[in-house]
Amino acid sequence: MGGFLAEIVRTELATPDPDLVQPEMYNQMFTMHGTIMLFLWIIPAGAAFANYLIPLMIGAEDMAFPRLNAVAFWMIPVGGVLLISSFFVGAPQAGWTSYPPLSLMSGKWGEEIWIMSLLILGTSSILGALNFAITILKMRIPEMDLNSMPLFCWSMLATSALVLIGTPVLAAALILLSFDLIAGTSFFNPVGGGDPIVYQHMFWFYSHPAVYIMVLPFFGVISEVLPVHARKPIFGYRAIAYSSLAIAFLGLIVWAHHMFTSGTPGWLRMFFMATTMLIAVPTGIKIFSWCATIWGGKIELNSAMLFGIGFISSFLIGGLSGVMVAAVPFDIHVHDTYFIVAHFHYVLFGGSVFALFAGLYHWFSKMTGRMLNETWGRIHFALTFIGFNMTFLPMHQLGLLGMNRRIALYDPQFQSLNIVCTIGSYILAVSTLPLVINVLWSLIKGKKAGRNPWRALTLEWQTTSPPAIENFESEPVLWAGPYEYGIDSENEDEEDVEDMLAEVSAQS
């Protein structure tokens, strides 16, 4: 649904005039596209990997609170159906940020349904984060301390902290906005003396950390995928682990860089500019460590590795443009233009989605017991990488030239670049077909995987594919420090690796 709405938006933007859908419908579509992609796609997808992998990676039988987990899951389709139903009463038109006073002036009941949906989805996130954190901290096998657990678990600890701290603030902002809508209060309504800037502070206190809520789980995915397919131990295990916590902390004190044009005092702008630039340090540590991991490795360019490398290159562009917009003068120039759209998508599509696909190709065999087809996987990667860059790279130039976002009518001088973006979006849409074909075919006819087709060392590969009920037949054995003493591409050949794995299997 989110992708379908995106294609309509891009088709509309192929021409300068609003000739496909009316401006009101256009506003509804980009609002719902953003909301669906963030709250019903990326965030639940990260939670899905966490639900599946955390118990397997730490040797647990299940999540700490299975029934709470089920409640958190079933709130997602309820919130999703509620959100999409807002189209029947006039979907919201104020963008996924829903700034007042604009959100108080257009489609009251559609906006109220939007708020109710996000409250349900936010509650689901809080319950899930609580479950993830307690599972990781309390249910590891005895010999697994914090410094020997998989990096994916470190990422989910940091993500859970952000969810638990930030989401209640968003809920408070949405409840107050709801009162302004249906009870006539003036918390954020300037007509009655309210202050819409307060809403922006409350919204971004959650919604900038939400970027890391969407990205950090997939940082963990990449940290698990790259070492296996490079046949090397991860470089800088502790640096990657602790940088996740640093990103979580710094992510909580940078929110007002979204508000440099909202009358923020100069001294406060300087603080948020400095902290925003500082967050590039722990992120850069991760990029360096991932590159050092694959440097000199015995790299097999299978689908998982291709998406992993595609993630590094795409996310790096998003990170560099993020440092650019952290600078106050540049941000004022490109604020609310297509440069921001490009930056945002390079972080979340180039980051989260590329890493999501890498994780899917990596763990599909564990989930189903069958291997995905590599030819279809490479086609999927090629179309995705080409379509993604063709769609969003020209948007940097559009933003620098001054094209505003969230408009259906634009200056004809921007049309040629918009046509390129639209063609790229069509390629990106087509890129999903090889994935769907691959998954359906592999589920039926795919090659059987066995326990450990990648010869990896983390605990999930010690059980059957798919895992048995309660995951393990007996308590798994932690291979001594897979992140410190892992497969050394210079000193270990494949026979040595098989000997290691045979010893682990015999011990378990």
pTM (2 d.p.) = 0.92
What is the rounded CA–CA span in Å between residue 94 and residue 351?
A: 26
The pLDDT assigned to 495 comes to: 52
As a whole number, mean pLDDT of residues 404-429 equals 97
Domain definitions of the chain by residue range: 2-496
Beta strands in 196-238 (DSSP E): none
The amino acid present at 248, given as its one-letter code, is A
Residues 6+ apart with CB under 8 A from 360: none
Place of tokens 């995705």: 384
- What proportion of the chain, given as a percentage, has pLDDT over 70? 94
**pLDDT score of 305 more than 50:** yes
* CA angle, residues 66, 241, 344, in degrees to nearest 5: 85
Report pLDDT digits (tens) over 323-347. 999 999 999 999 999 999 999 999 9
User: Which stretch of DSSP H or E encloses residue 238?
Assistant: helix 237-251
Q: N- to C-terminal Cα distance for the chain?
A: 45
Q: For all residues of the chain together, what is the average pLDDT?
A: 93
As a whole number, mean pLDDT of residues 31-50 equals 96
Rounded (to 5) percent helix, strand, coil in the chain: 70, 0, 25
Report pLDDT digits (tens) over 171-180. 999 999 999 9
Phi-psi region of 277 (alpha: psi -120 to 50; beta: other; left: phi over 0): alpha
Q: What angle do helix axes 2-12 and 415-430 make, rounded to 10 degrees? A: 150
The amino acid present at 147, given as its one-letter code, is N
* CA angle, residues 208, 210, 216, in degrees to nearest 5: 115
* CA angle, residues 50, 342, 223, in degrees to nearest 5: 30
Going by the DSSP 8-state scheme, the letter that residue 178 receives in this structure is H
- Bond preceding residue 101 cis, omega within 30 of 0: yes
CA distances (Å), origin 8, targets 2, 15, 422, 429, 448: 10, 12, 10, 11, 40
What is the rounded CA–CA span in Å between residue 440 and residue 431?
A: 15
Report pLDDT digits (tens) over 118-162. 999 999 999 999 999 999 999 999 999 999 999 999 999 999 999
The amino acid present at 404, given as its one-letter code, is N
CATH fold of 2-496 reads Cytochrome C Oxidase; Chain A (1.20.210)
CB-based burial, 317-331: b 16+ in 10 Å, e otherwise: bbbebbeebbebebb
DSSP track, 433-482: HHHHHHHHHHHHHPPB--S-TT---SGGGGS-SSPBTTB-SS-----S-T
Paired residues of 337 in beta bridges = 404
Burial of 423 (0-12, 13-18, 19+ CB in 10 A): middle
What is the rounded CA–CA span in Å between residue 149 and residue 109?
A: 47
